[in-house]
Amino acid sequence: MFWTRINVPGCDLNVPEASKQRFYVLDDENFEASWRHLHPSRTAEKQKVDFAYRGEIRRNLRYFQASRTAKSPNLAIAHEAKVIKLIVERISLELRTINTVVDENLIGMEPRMQALDPYLEIGSDDVRMIGIKGMGGAGKTTLARAIFDKISIHFEGKSFVENVREISKAPFLDLKKLQKQVLTDVLKDKCISVSSVHEGTNLMKTMLCGKKVLIVLDDVDHIDQLEALAGDPRWFKLGSRIIITTRDQQVLIAHRVGFIQDVHLLSDEEAIHLFSRHAFREAFPTHEYETHSLDQVVRYAAGLPLTIKVLGSHLCGKSELEWTDALSRLKTIPLKQTIEKLEISYDSLEDDYKEIFLDVACFCRYMEKDDAIRMLESCGYHARNGLKVLQQKSLITFNRRNWIMMHDHIVEMGKNIVRRDHLDEPHKHSRLWVQEEIEHLLAKNLGTEATRCIYLKITRGIVLESLEKMKKLRCLIINSGYYNLSDYSVKIDEACQCFLNSLQYLNWMHYPHWCLPKTFEANNLVTLEMTRSKIEQLWNEGRCGLPQKSHRKVDQFESLEKLDLSGYHNFRDMPSNICELKHLKDLYLSGCMRFDKLPDDLEGLKIHRSDVKYQVSEYDDFIRLCFTREPQIQEFKKLRILVLVRCGIEEVPEALGHLEVLEELHLRHCFCLEKLPEGIGQVESLEELYITRCYNIRQIPGSICLLKNLKKLELEGCRRLEMPSRELEDYIFGILA
């Protein structure tokens, strides 16, 4: 057996002494034994060496031995050099083996990596695709890189493909380059060529199926990219892991990625730590003014790592005056690098979804989802699907109350898009929400057709008549506050005369008059919301000066689908001809305590939070009915949804058991309610039961176990609820699970 030691170049690196020299064997007969002798302490996992590499060495050994037998020293030396080169390359790769310890400079990374451990499950023999989803700048790439560095030692081949979105769309690059990168990284063969995406796909299918690989595809935004780079789990050997980062959850869903994890933003403590690293190059600030500014920085960044890094680097080394000025600038001018990163998601939207996004960013943040859908649908958008798209692209989320939530910087980005082309010309903006700008436009009569939506607060001296020039205004939100508008120069009749037929959504909170003015016309109005107003009647032929026979007020609301008059106790009289509004679907009358009579012929209408206090059998086909007083419900036999809000009842009527098709029961803020009726078990159709802040409810009846179709049970804020029986407890926890 002949051994030769190779001194590996670059061994002055800080590596273990054992790594500074390697031996190779020029004896084909004892090759395997010699290899094991060289690696006596390798684990079973590490002993799964690349057989292609070992095979190539053995082939060259045979060439060397054959040439030695043929007494051709030059040939022998040539093949010896090739063997040495192969071994050096292999050793170089081993020396580049990535440290499994997470870089301490990666703040907050460890818990986020641990959250993905159950998805990765390195010991499992299946092929897994794991998606990491989140908004731009949230740290998806950093998280994927940290995981890649930590677990890559467990795989026979690995490849980290960065910027998939950019490269796949760049001129002269596209997906072929990325396919070649994966093949080269995994197979360690720089000579691979890919002439087309189709050829690259076939090469990946045939050449990667024998290797347990770890592949990260970073910043994916289209399913074509996944189909070209990881089209099917069967492309890879069992045990392989494919990690995909994206802003768009739909891409992962469409590719049937089995495990999807949202990346969480930084906590305040983590944000301070990361900011300090970039701003001070230390764990903590060094000057008093820097300490005082930390809260402002953390509030502005709102947990977004990109903003924290950019802001920290920007403020590093600045004086106190420069520091203060830079932070003050952020109030009006957002960080360019952050906005550009976030705007990538906006640019990927289709045109109508872009409009929905801008409306949400400017007006609908913190709005309840259904209310936002009604507002957006009133303006002609496909809002339900649109909001879903925004959610999947990490532009919005929904909290537990189903409110629309949007990160501060995404709101900032949306408003910046509206304003940036005409920064000093608000009359050219499509949406107006800055009070000072609106008041100036109205005072100077500078309204234009560019304006589509306005959010306006009524103040002293405001001139609403100037709205007349906004010919394409579709959405108007007015808040009068609790002001007595008789003290202001706001003329309601003249203002309403300026509300053009283009208006589709009108929300006037605290409307100050007792009825709508005679001049009000809104043929295209889809939603009219006048909550907490002083309105007593919608229109009155006598008092409002409308001759009953010569003018039919109801004709001017022919497109109306939603009418919300909730929150005013004095509303008492619904026009009898409201039933002629054939498109009206939703009527909200919550808190209208004096209102106690429904008009005839309301078939198919949804009445929300109604205070009707008497039994009306002719309405037994209502889809939804809500009460804030003790209801008489036994005649509503076709009722599907029943909501009891702030009722003073101690028990839900036993007649509940007669509602044969009831699907949802909501009990909210019924503070006197102590128990549910035993008859609830007879409502076999019940699928959802919500009991919220019914503080005195003590027990859930055992008959609830008979509800075989119950799929959702929510018990929130029921402080005095007693422990149920074991059987009932198992049933409840079975549903909650």
Q: What is the pLDDT of residues 247-303, one digit of tens each?
A: 999 999 999 998 999 999 999 888 888 888 888 877 767 666 667 678 888 888 888
95 CB-near residues (< 8 Å, 6+ apart):
8, 10, 13, 15, 19
- DSSP for 114-152? HHHHHHH-TT--S-EEEEEE--TTSSHHHHHHHHHHHHG
Confidence (pLDDT) at 25: 44
The full 3-state SS of 584-651, as one line of letters, equals CCEEECCCCCCCCCCCCCCCCCEEEEECCCCCCHHHCCCCEEEECCCCCCCCCCCCCEEEEECCCCCE
What's the CATH class of domain 613-737?
Answer: alpha beta
What's the CA angle centered on 135, arms 429 and 400, to 5 degrees? 90
147 within 8 A of 122, measured Cβ to Cβ: no
CA dihedral of 269, 275, 276, 277, whole degrees rounded to 10: 110
Task: Enumerate the H helices of 466-550 as residue ranges.
Answer: 492-497
Q: Is the pLDDT of residue 545 over 70?
A: no
DSSP string, 61-97: HHHHHHHHHTT-HHHHHHHHHHHHHHHHHHHHHHHTP
Q: How far apart are CA 679 and CA 187, in angstroms?
A: 69
Give residue 59's pLDDT band: very low, low, confident or very high (50, 70, 90).
low
Would you state the pLDDT for residue 642?
Answer: 79
Of 445 and 217, the structure prediction assigns the larger pLDDT to 217
| Residues 306-310, mean pLDDT to the nearest whole number | 89
Mean pLDDT of all residues in 5-22: 40
Quick one: average pLDDT of 127-134? 94
pLDDT one-digit tens code per residue, 340-396: 889 999 999 999 999 999 999 999 999 888 889 988 988 889 999 999 999 999 999
How far is the C-alpha of 398 from the C-alpha of 620, rounded, in Å?
34
Give the pLDDT confidence score for residue 445 in this predicted structure. 86
Q: Domain map of the chain by residue range?
A: 3-95, 109-262, 268-333, 338-422, 613-737
The reported pLDDT for the residue numbered 23 is 43
Reported as a pLDDT band with limits 50, 70 and 90, residue 671 is confident
Picking from 669, 673, 682, the residue whose alpha carbon sits closest to that of residue 710 is 682
Separation CA 601–CA 621 (nearest Å): 12
CATH class entry, domain 338-422: mainly alpha
- Model confidence band, residue 540 (pLDDT cutoffs 50, 70, 90): low
Q: Which residue has the higher pLDDT, 387 or 594?
A: 387
The burial class, CB within 10 Å (0-12 / 13-18 / 19+), for 366 is exposed
pLDDT confidence band for 618 (50 / 70 / 90): very low
For position 21, what pLDDT does the model report?
42
Can you tell me the mean pLDDT for 311-323? Answer: 84
- How far apart (Å, rounded) are the C-alpha atoms in residues 80 and 418? 69
Helix (H) or strand (E) holding 242: strand 241-246
Highest mean pLDDT among 4-13, 220-229, 609-618: 220-229
Q: In which band, very low, low, confident or very high, does the pLDDT at 475 lie, cut at 50, 70 and 90?
A: very high
Would 338-422 and 613-737 be classified into the same CATH topology?
Answer: no
**CATH of 109-262 among 3.40.309.10, 2.60.120.370, 3.40.50.300, 3.40.50.720:** 3.40.50.300
645 pLDDT tier (thresholds 50, 70, 90): confident
